[in-house]
Structures are given as structure tokens and as C-alpha cells.
Structure 1
Amino acid sequence: MRARTGVRGIVRGIVAAAVALWGLAACSDGGGGDDEPPEIRTIPTVRSSADLPALPMEQYVFSGDDLRAYTQAGAVLSRRCMERFGMNWISDKDATRDLPDLTVDPTRYFTIIDADAAREHGYADPRGDGDGQRKTSGSYEPTDAERSVYNGSAKNVTDTSGRRLGKGGCAAEVDKRLDEGGVKGIDALKVGNEFYTLYGKVQRDSRVTEAFEKWSACLKKKGFTYATPMDAANDPEWVSGADTKAAVSVATADVACKQRLNTVGIWYAVAEAYQRAYIDEKAEHFADVLATKKALVKNAADVIGGAE
């Protein structure tokens, strides 16, 4: 079993959020209820991903830089603790290798948007394999003894000052430091999962389903039959990401119809409305999330910058 390289099993939880949110979502369900749909403010004209305004959720999600700094700080603190017990631990390089980028990627959330990407890659992710799994080749593998000190399962262990290993081991010590100033019970690293519950509601909204029907009719005139953009993106022929000739043909037609009908602009406007309403409804919670995120980012910067 590979040891956790970050705080609270960082990669395990974060990857789940990243894959769920920013993959070409095969599952369009999620959320529920028959509440009155939220009001749309404006519908942007979207011909490329650069035309999309920020989604409300973006300020609450860790950026790639934030996540890298947080993970690096966890590695720094972990080594300090482990060295007190005469042991080694994972390097910054190993800890931060192949971390997912939680920054909102509209080309994944709204399936494919950019014409150039469609022509060059079809539905494949040009950023890489996109599976959210970390590569482990070349990484340091802790010994069983090191793992036991890190997770606190070791018995009768004292550090160089004669202090006994605390409950939860070095992992708990690191978490305590990096969580300082945050709100108890708030896991800012997984907040993206909360917004994923809205994904199904957005797809079922009448304004989106109408936009998809028009997109589907447009695509049919080009010789392809798909009910929704998700169906096209997740065709079993290329769901694994292969940029085949067939995938490129469909993706190119897909984007052309989206551009002509402003499908993504409508889709975005509805998603923005649901996210905004959700945040307003849980205003106190998201204030805590934002405060916790800021605390974690500051703590990480202090550790890396040597402010302690």
C-alpha cells in the first residue's frame, strides 16, 4: 500500500473531485427535486473557451498553484516531523508529482468548445491522459516503520527530544499546522464535489434541454445522431479519449453547431444561475469555505517561505 503523500490523504479526495467535475461527464444525473429554476442573468456569446466568464464556484476551488503549494508544505512539515524520529519521508518532488489541476476547465465541463481542439484532438484531452491517477514511477516508497510513525500506529516511539509520538502521528501534526485558522469541519479541498450535485439539475433544466434539442437537430443535418453533447463526447468508440478520424469528424461538427446556436452560452448561463443560487442559499457555509481556503493557502505559503 502506497503511503499518503499529503495531508488528509490529499490526492485521494482531490482526484475524486477533479475527475467528477472536469471530466467529459458521462453521468448527467445528480441533484434532484422540482424547485423553481433560478433566473438567468445574462447569456454570453461563446465561440471558444476564452469567451466564458468565471463560474461562481471558481473562487472556492483550489487552483493548481494552490494545490501544489499546499501539498509541498505538507511534504516539508512531514519530513521535519519524521526526521525528529530519525526517519526519512517523501520529497517535495514526489509529493507534488502529477497533481490534478482543480481549476475550472470549461472545455471539460461543457464538453468540447474550441474548434482548433476539435480538429486536432477530437474528444481527447490535449492536456494528457486525464484519468486523474498519479504516476508512481520514481517515487520514494516509505518503509513499514516509517508509515507507522507517519500515521501514528507505531507504539512506544519517542523523538530526539524524548517526546512520545502523538495520536495520529506526523500526519495529524501536519494537518493541525496547515489547518490553523480554518473553520472546523470544512474540507476546502473537496468543495468541488458539492457543485457536482448541481450538474444533473442543469442538464434537466428546460432551457438547457431546448438548447440541446436544437444542437441535436443541427448535428443530424451534418450526418450525426446524438441527443446531447455528453452523448457525443462519451460515444463508446472514443470515450477512452482516442483522437480517431471519426471522433474528429463528430467533434468538429459538434463545435460548429454549438457556435452557430450558442449552445454553450445558454448552458453556461443556466449553470451559473444554479451555482449562484446554491451559494446564496448556503451563504454561511461558503463564507466558511472561503475563509478556510484562504487560511490553508496562507499557511502553506508561510511554511514554504520559512516564516516559521
Structure 2
Amino acid sequence: MRTPRTRTMILTAMVGVLALAGCAGGDGDEEEPPLGQTPKVMRPADVPSLPMNQYVLDEKEMRAYTQAQAVLSRRCMERFGMSWLTDAQVTADLPNLGADPVRYFTIIDAEAARLHGYGDPDGQDAKEKGGTGGYEPTAAERAVYDGTAKGVTDTAGKPLPEGGCAAEVDKEMKLGGAEGVNPLTVGNEFYSLYAKVLRDSRVTGAFTNWSACMKEKGFAYQTPLDAANDTEWKSGAATRAAIAVATADVACKQQHNTVGIWYAAMAAHQNAYIDKKAEHFSEVLANKKALVENSARIMQGA
């Protein structure tokens, strides 16, 4: 289980891409950025890192940040005679804030399609292995952490700071960074481009070729998103029908390099957005650097 503040920030950062995809439509006259190199994608490992990834915490950095936050949280809570979550508990189910190829481009791996259809065996394993050891903060502990407790003083007689331990931790973690910029939520800005990419003529053309290929195999879907979100297997059940469609889906993507073109368009739109907001993203990088350095400093002194 994560701390309440960390959980809120991470959930904000992990806005559902497929939900945004449903907003696609209109704006057909928007200027489309030129494509860079179009990779040949036959498996997830063939998908290059997207431009957004340099601005968010990778898996290792996210773990270090979360552990450092847990260390500071416990120090603060202990001053008020309270317990708090361990490192293992706060890092039990951390997301990767970088761009997951499957989340962006639906199923890519032929073997995964053959075995699991559109299911997510890794996600299920993580759910089964996760957990918080049965510990849940009490109402009193939560009140001290989020600052809603009244008349509370620490072992030195000092009152609970405004915003509680959560605010104290945030302040320490952000030392040296730019005010008002949060690398943990900047991913939302890039996710907001997703629907625009789906309207890109290069992508719609790739989907048209993919759809024709699927039709030849006996399946009527306009886009890979339609196939992945079919209500018959949206729950992730690896039914015979789901496996048949997923297998055809991957084969058609490979035949027409659907994901390669889709990636190239996504990267082009992200690069154009970064160029447009260069000063903002310079501050994002500064804040990310501060979070990484502060995390290392805190863990070294833990």
C-alpha cells in the first residue's frame, strides 16, 4: 500500500489512455508534424523509448523516490508517536510512469496473444504477489499524516505542521526544484496527445490497412483499439475467441508495421509538443533531477 499522498499523485499520473482514445474526432485540418524514423515493430522490444520518457521517473527512480518518501514519512510520524508504512508496503505495486508499449499500442507480442489473448498475465501476477502485510494506517495516523489532526504536538512539543507529515515530506523531496512543476503528473500532458495521434492521417491509414487484413482473416474491427476493447473479453478472459482475434491482430500489425507507424506518429506529436513548451519541460527536467538527487541523499542517510 502506498502513502495517501503518493497514491493520489500516481493515480493522477496514470490517466487511462484508452479512455482518452474515445475522445478522438474532429480537428481534421490540424497540421501534422513530420515523422522521424519509423521502426519495424515485430515485438514489444522493438518499440523505441518515446520522447516523454526522459521527463518522467523510470521504474528504478520511482522505487527510490517512493522509498525515500517512506523514510521521511516514518521519521515525521514517529515524532508524533505514530507508526507508518514500511518500504516494502509502499513499493508493493508501483507503476512505471514511462510509456508501456502495450498500454499505448495494444497487444504486440505474438506468443502472449497465442497464450493469453488480450489478458495481462503480468498484471495478474503482480496483483497476486502484492499486498501490504495486512497493515492499514489508523484514522488517527492518517489524520496526522494529512494534517487534519487537531491539537497534536510532537515529542519536542511542536505542533503538527500545516498539511501534516505529507506536506513536510513533499517539501523535503522537492528541494532544489522549480515551483509548481511535478514530474509525477507530467505524463498526463503526453497522454492528452493520444486522441490527436489517433486522428493523424498516417495512423488512420495504418489502421485502414490493419482493418482490411483483419477482415481477410474473418474479423471486423476498424482499429486495434476496437479489437482490444471488445466487450466479450474486455475483462481479460483468455477465451478461444479472444485468442483467435488477438493472434490475427498481432499478425496484421506485423504484416503492415501498424505499431511502427503508430509509434512514429506518437513520437512526432510528442516532440512537437516538447518544442512548443521548451521552457516548461526544462523546468520538468530540473524537478526530476531534484527528486532523483533528493531520493539518493535521503536513502544514503536512512
User: With structure 2 as the length reference, what TM-score do the two structures score?
Assistant: 0.92
Tell me whether 1:77 sits opposite 2:72 in the alignment. Answer: yes
Letter in 2 for 1:27: A
- CA-to-partner distance for each residue in 1:90-114, whole Å, 9 max, x for gaps? 2112122212222321122111111
Determine which of 3, 6, 10 is the counterpart of 1:5.
3
Letter in 1 for 2:110: A
After superposition, residues 107-256 of structure 1 pair within 5 angstroms as: 107-129=102-124, 138-256=133-251
Q: Which sits farther off after the overlay, 60-69 or 243-252?
A: 60-69
Tell me the equivalent position of 1:96: 91
Going from structure 1 to structure 2, the CA distance change for 1:254 and 1:294 (only over 3 Å counts) comes to same
How far apart in 1 are the matches of 2:94 and 2:10? 9
How far apart in 2 are the matches of 1:29 and 1:120? 31
Residues 111 and 230 in structure 1, CA contact (< 8 A), matched pair in contact too: yes
Going from structure 1 to structure 2, the CA distance change for 1:250 and 1:218 (only over 3 Å counts) comes to same
Letter in 1 for 2:246: A
Letter in 1 for 2:282: A
Letter in 2 for 1:256: A
Letter in 1 for 2:13: A
| Pairwise CA distance, 1:244 | 1.2
Structure number having the greater helix percentage: 2
Tell me the equivalent position of 1:299: 294
Tell me the equivalent position of 2:16: 20
Residues 20 and 194 in structure 2, CA contact (< 8 A), matched pair in contact too: no
Residues 21 and 198 in structure 2, CA contact (< 8 A), matched pair in contact too: no
What is the aligned residue count? 301
Letter in 2 for 1:15: L
Residues 86 and 159 in structure 1, CA contact (< 8 A), matched pair in contact too: yes
How far apart in 2 are the matches of 1:215 and 1:195? 25
Tell me the equivalent position of 2:267: 272
Going from structure 1 to structure 2, the CA distance change for 1:184 and 1:210 (only over 3 Å counts) comes to same
How far apart in 2 are the matches of 1:30 and 1:223? 26
Tell me the equivalent position of 1:286: 281
How far apart in 2 are the matches of 1:304 and 1:218? 53
CA RMSD of aligned residues (A): 2.4
Going from structure 1 to structure 2, the CA distance change for 1:158 and 1:67 (only over 3 Å counts) comes to same
How far apart in 2 are the matches of 1:186 and 1:287? 10
| Pairwise CA distance, 1:142 | 2.1
How far apart in 1 are the matches of 2:121 and 2:19? 17
* Runs of 4 or more above 6 Å deviation: none
Residues 20 and 192 in structure 2, CA contact (< 8 A), matched pair in contact too: no
Residues 29 and 199 in structure 1, CA contact (< 8 A), matched pair in contact too: no
Residues 147 and 160 in structure 2, CA contact (< 8 A), matched pair in contact too: yes
Identical residues among aligned pairs (%): 61
